[in-house]
Amino acid sequence: MPKEDYLLKYLEKLGRVVAAMLGFRDKGFPEDALRLADETYKELLNFDSEELAVMPVEKFIEIVLKAGYSSSYLEILAQLAHETANSFEAKGNKEFAHSFFLKSLHLYYLLNEKDKTFSFEREMIISKLKEIINLHSN
């Protein structure tokens, strides 16, 4: 199988993970969403979600940069971090939620640097994340 086919299939799998997490959270099962996130982070970054939650944003971004992910991977990783934050928030863990909202925001910043194409949708997400982070900080 050519490398591009493998990468496309893997990106599709990651997209399904994020969608499944959203489904679990919407149905009132944030623990199941977080279990999926945990497995995915271990596979992608060799860290579980709790390790990432307490990790400083700078170190997290350093790990992501070292992995050398493409824009497509960064985008799905940003979505994964965002949904992880939402799941932690739904579970009542505001501290971990805040940490992942911050990580998601920085991944979107990184994505903007890497992908020079302007995305109105991405800018809206960034604005919303800044709003959420400001609310959590107060």
Predicted pLDDT of residue 4: 65
Number of domains in the chain: 1
- CA dist 130 and 53 (Å) reads 18
Predicted pLDDT of residue 104: 98
Predicted pLDDT of residue 3: 61
Res. 1: pLDDT tops 80: no
- CA dist 32 and 23 (Å) reads 10
Q: What is the mean pLDDT of residues 27-35?
A: 96
Q: pLDDT per residue over 52-75, tens digit each?
A: 999 999 999 999 999 998 999 999
Range of the domain at 61: 3-137
